[in-house]
Every structure is written in structure tokens, then in C-alpha cells.
């Protein structure tokens, strides 16, 4: 940026985080922000049942930098975050979790790099031996499958904790496929400066994860399909159909039929992911923001 003044929006999707909200807000208030920077926290609440909504109202009354949007029904973390990102009006926006997995302590460095000209400041979680072996194996398998099937490496984009300039935010929110996985196509961002900041934290420092193994697998598969180009999808579909014929001739037609069904379902899912925006339509129950009470 040409100026050393900026407004920073922090967008957080929350569901049943009543105990973490005050800790998060207090943590941001104690940071040494770069001189001339103002910040706003925009909470997008999604189907909480534990008092999160009342706590958000309370925090918004106490802290002028806190705003919230309560959605009518649950739509999931990705849809809620995209909803918030599209309504960010700051010079830059940071998407992150409220549970301590994305440490607020690195935010001043992120903002400083933005002031120094970075369009994207991506958080990169460092390897953790504390992770259960199953989680480490799952992450390794997912990264390998993503690189082989899509040609995209996620090693430096293993979390969605990042700062985005206005242009970079548009690059994310306007790509209906990549936005479903909250990842950026760095290779398509020619001329943009991308910085990386290492983070050392557990997946979740406070509370319990809302993600089951089944949900993680589904998100991983959707992520791979979302980041796959049409040309690669065509290649893998053709390879799968060819393999099904060979399997039918050498092994049996039942596994061949199952392989064909897998290819057809994957292709149908790929087309669906390409056409439908993950955050449309969302209805707002209540908001502290000035303006309309309902949004697209």
C-alpha cells in the first residue's frame, strides 16, 4: 500500500463458541497493531445452540469494533466465511478461526507485510508431532492425492488463516470452485505478491472440533474436485472409464460397474461444484451491521 494507514476486517465463522468469544476479542485488543491501523471483527454465527448468539450481542454492545451476523439456519463454515468475506469493506481482510488454532499473535506481522506491499499473507502451519498418527497420515494422503490429481500443492496452504487485499479477496470469492475449499490458485495470481508466515499451534487450542471423520473425508473429496481443472477432470474420467473396461475383462464386471459409477458420480459432483455458489442464498436472522436485515 502507498499509505501506512489501513482498515483491517477480521472475519470469523462461529458455531457453539460461547466460551472462546471473549478470549478471542480480548486477545485482539491486546495486540500491538501497526500505527494507523483500525480493525473490525465480523462474526458470522451459524446454527449455534449454546448461548453464542447472546454472547455476540453482549460483546457488540461492549466493544465498538465487534459486529455480528446471525444466520437463519446452519449452512456450514465455508458458506458462513464466504458470506462474511463478501461483506468485508476493509483495505484488507483476515479469515481465521476463533478457537486458538489460528494464533492472533501473528496478525500484526501479517498486517505489516500487507503495508509492505503483500497482496496475500498466508499462514502456514508447521509440522506437529503432537498430532495423532491417523491425522498426520490423513493430511499426507490428502496432500499427495491433491497434487497428483489436480497438480496443486497445498503444503503452503494447509490452513485458510490468511490476510487478503481487496483484489485477492475478489480472486477467492469470485471463483465458485476454489472458494468451496477456501483456497487460492496462486499460480493464476500473476503479478501479485504472496508472503508466508509460519504458525506454531495445534489444530484447535480450545474446545472440541465440530468436524467428524466422515465430514473431513467429504470436504477433502470436494476440495480435490473443486481445484481440478476441466481438462484434468476429462483426463481422469477417461482414464477411469478405460480402466473399468480392463477391470471388467480381467477381474469381473461388478467391480467394473462400481468403477464406472464412481467416475459418473465424481463427474456429476465436479459439474455441480462448478455451477453453484456455496453461500447462495443465505438468510440473515439478525445483524449488528447497519443496513438490510436480509442478504443474498
Give per-residue pLDDT as tens, 22-34: 999 999 999 999 9
pLDDT value for 193:
95
pLDDT value for 40:
97
Q: Which of these ranges, 217-221, 250-254, 265-269, has the smallest mean pLDDT?
A: 217-221
Residue 227: pLDDT above 60? yes
Question: Before 281, cis peptide (omega within 30)?
Answer: yes
In sequence order, the β-bridge partners of residue 67 are 42
Q: List helix spans (H) across 165-229.
A: 166-173, 213-227
Residue 248: pLDDT above 60? yes
Banded model confidence at residue 294, pLDDT cuts 50, 70, 90: very low
Residue 291: pLDDT above 60? no
Q: What is the mean pLDDT of the chain?
A: 88
Q: Is the dihedral of CA 173, 175, 178, 183 positive or negative?
A: negative
pTM: 0.84
Residue 206's Cβ-count burial label (10 Å; 0-12, 13-18, 19+) is: middle
Banded model confidence at residue 2, pLDDT cuts 50, 70, 90: very low
Q: How far apart are CA 109 and CA 92, in angstroms?
A: 13
In sequence order, the β-bridge partners of residue 69 are 44, 287
Give per-residue pLDDT as tens, 134-158: 777 877 888 899 889 998 888 888 8
Banded model confidence at residue 230, pLDDT cuts 50, 70, 90: very high
Give per-residue pLDDT as tens, 75-121: 888 889 999 999 999 999 999 999 989 999 999 999 999 999 999 99
pLDDT value for 296:
27
User: Residue 186 contacts by C-beta under 8 Å, 6 or more apart in sequence?
Assistant: 120, 157, 194
Residue 223's Cβ-count burial label (10 Å; 0-12, 13-18, 19+) is: buried
Give per-residue pLDDT as tens, 145-204: 988 999 888 888 889 999 999 999 998 888 877 777 888 888 878 889 999 999 987 655
Nearest CA-CA partner of 107 in 172, 12, 207, 174: 12
The torsion of the CA quartet 105, 110, 111, 117, rounded to 10 degrees, works out to 170
pLDDT value for 292:
39
Going from the N-terminus, what domains does the chain have, and what CATH number goes with each? 6-211+283-287 (3.90.550.10)
User: Residue 32 contacts by C-beta under 8 Å, 6 or more apart in sequence?
Assistant: 108
Give per-residue pLDDT as tens, 17-70: 999 999 999 999 999 999 899 999 999 999 899 999 999 999 999 999 999 999
Amino acid at each position: 500500500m502507498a499509505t501506512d494507514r489501513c482498515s483491517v476486517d477480521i472475519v470469523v465463522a462461529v458455531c457453539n463458541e460461547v466460551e472462546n468469544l471473549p478470549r478471542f476479542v480480548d486477545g485482539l485488543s491486546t495486540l500491538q497493531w501497526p500505527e494507523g491501523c483500525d480493525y473490525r471483527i465480523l462474526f458470522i454465527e451459524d446454527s449455534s445452540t449454546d448461548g453464542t448468539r447472546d454472547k455476540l450481542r453482549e460483546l457488540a454492545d461492549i466493544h465498538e469494533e465487534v459486529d455480528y451476523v446471525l444466520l437463519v439456519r446452519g449452512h456450514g463454515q465455508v458458506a458462513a466465511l464466504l458470506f462474511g468475506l463478501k461483506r468485508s469493506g476493509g483495505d484488507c481482510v483476515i479469515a481465521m478461526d476463533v478457537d486458538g488454532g489460528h494464533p492472533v499473535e501473528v496478525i500484526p506481522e501479517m498486517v505489516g507485510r500487507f503495508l509492505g506491499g503483500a497482496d496475500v499473507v498466508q499462514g502456514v502451519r508447521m509440522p506437529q508431532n503432537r498430532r495423532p498418527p491417523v491425522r498426520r497420515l490423513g493430511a499426507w494422503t490428502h496432500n499427495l492425492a491433491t497434487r497428483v490429481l489436480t497438480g496443486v500443492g497445498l503444503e503452503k496452504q494447509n490452513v485458510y488463516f490468511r490476510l487478503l487485499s481487496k483484489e485477492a479477496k475478489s480472486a477467492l470469492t469470485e471463483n465458485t470452485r476454489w472458494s468451496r475449499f477456501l483456497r487460492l490458485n496462486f499460480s493464476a495470481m500473476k503479478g501479485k505478491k504472496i508472503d508466508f508466515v509460519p504458525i506454531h499451534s495445534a489444530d484447535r487450542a480450545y474446545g472440541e472440533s465440530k468436524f467428524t471423520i466422515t465430514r473431513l473425508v467429504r470436504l477433502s473429496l470436494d476440495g480435490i474436485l473443486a481445484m481440478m481443472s476441466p481438462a484434468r477432470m476429462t483426463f481422469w474420467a477417461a482414464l477411469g472409464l478405460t480402466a473399468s473396461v480392463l477391470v471388467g475383462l480381467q477381474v469381473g464386471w461388478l467391480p467394473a460397474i462400481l468403477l464406472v459409477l464412481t467416475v459418473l458420480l465424481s463427474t456429476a459432483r465436479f459439474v455441480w461444484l462448478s455451477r453453484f455458489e456455496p453461500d447462495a442464498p443465505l438468510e440473515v436472522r439478525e445483524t449488528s451491521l447497519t443496513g438490510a436485515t436480509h442478504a443474498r
